[in-house]
Amino acid sequence: MNATDWLGSIGVFQILLAYFLNVSGKISNKDLSFILLNLIGASMACLASVLLEYVPFIILEGAWVMVSVVSLIKYRKDS
């Protein structure tokens, strides 16, 4: 695996970890840890997709980043 593969794999792992922790009841989807795992993970996966020039996943992960940013802004306003 090259650096781009590692970047994308770690990013996807973070997104899946957030999902697993949420569905197992360990964290809420309103927790800062959930939001940050998704934001950082999606950003890493999006960057890997840009480096690979794979447009469908650039769009998918870019949208995931935007949703996470909106969630982070909402979290900050509610705090």
CB 31 within 8 A of CB 54: no
Q: At what angle do helices 32-52 and 55-78 cross, to 10 degrees?
A: 160
* Predicted pLDDT at 79: 83
Q: What is the DSSP letter of 24?
A: T
CB 63 within 8 A of CB 43: no
**Domain count for the chain:** 1
* pLDDT 10s digits, 11-23: 999 999 999 999 9
Per-residue pLDDT at 66 exceeds 90:
yes
CB 14 within 8 A of CB 44: yes
Enter the pTM of the model: 0.94
Whole-number average pLDDT of the chain:
97
Domain that holds residue 35: 3-78
Give the integer Cα–Cα distance in Å for 47 and 4: 8
